[in-house]
Amino acid sequence: MAVKKYKILIVDDDKDILDLLQYNLEREGYQVKGETKSVNSVETAIAFEPDLIILDIMMPYVNGIEICRRLRSLDPFKGTYIFFLTAKSDINLQIEALNIGGDDYIEKITGLRALSYKVSTVLKKKLVIRKSVCKIKLGDLIIDRNSSSVTYRGRKIELPKHEFELLYFFAQNPKKIITQDNLLHNIWGSDIYLFAKSVDTYVQNIGQKIGAGLISKVKDDRYRFETR
């Protein structure tokens, strides 16, 4: 039985970056199409039917955020993964990109490794990364990304950034086995070496604040989020 070859569309007006991305992703087994002209991107996407789209933000004529808005207005792309890859680190730009329908925002400074790992996470490992989802409700647990707030059984829980991101990622992937490596790459990106020993601590902190057993350690480096 043939293995599905996932299709990725990259839209970036910098041909050197586009060629580099295309070369590396094709080496990983994806079918990749590059588009340097932002004005053609929607038509290219319709013809190519990608499983995932990578958009630069700052492009002439039509920027990546507007392309994302146009794509999300079309039925075939309402569920397609859209990642933003950009040199801009402006937090307001990140918020706008996610609010318009982007699933993740990756700074180019973090390099190809972070991008390729996230692509593999959603296409091959079938884990969910959708930061465009503003609110998650699982039983008595409510996670609101817009306000970075967590409520459990009517009680507001204060979580610092990394604990919030961990819980948000777990909650989008309930009952799935998630490795420490996957958590590190998808939440901390290029700085994973700083946090490799901290995941257990963050998980324990979440358990103390919300309730023990919500996140269980299956093996030394594997975790599972249990819904109640």
Q: What is the CATH number of the domain that holds 140?
A: 1.10.10.10
Question: How many angstroms separate the CA atoms of 174 and 226, rounded?
Answer: 6
**pTM (2 d.p.):** 0.88
Question: 29 and 77 share a domain?
Answer: yes
Question: How many angstroms separate the CA atoms of 228 and 225, rounded?
Answer: 10
Question: How many angstroms separate the CA atoms of 190 and 199, rounded?
Answer: 15
Question: How many angstroms separate the CA atoms of 46 and 24, rounded?
Answer: 24
Question: 16 and 95 share a domain?
Answer: yes
Domain closes at, from 94, 123, 152: 123
Question: 14 and 113 share a domain?
Answer: yes
Per residue in 68-88, pLDDT (tens digit) is 999 999 999 999 999 998 887
Question: How many angstroms separate the CA atoms of 63 and 73, rounded?
Answer: 16
Per residue in 97-125, pLDDT (tens digit) is 999 999 998 887 666 788 888 999 999 99
Question: 163 and 66 share a domain?
Answer: no
Question: How many angstroms separate the CA atoms of 161 and 156, rounded?
Answer: 15
Which domain range does residue 187 map to? 135-225
| Structural domains in the chain (count) | 2
Residue 214 confidence (pLDDT): 84
Q: Is residue 129 part of a domain?
A: no
Question: Among the ranges 34-43, 152-161, 185-194, which has the highest mean pLDDT value?
Answer: 34-43
Per residue in 184-215, pLDDT (tens digit) is 888 876 555 556 667 888 888 998 888 767 88
Q: Is residue 1 part of a domain?
A: no
Question: 115 and 11 share a domain?
Answer: yes
Question: 142 and 63 share a domain?
Answer: no
Domain closes at, from 70, 103, 123: 123
Question: 61 and 159 share a domain?
Answer: no
Q: Is residue 33 part of a domain?
A: yes
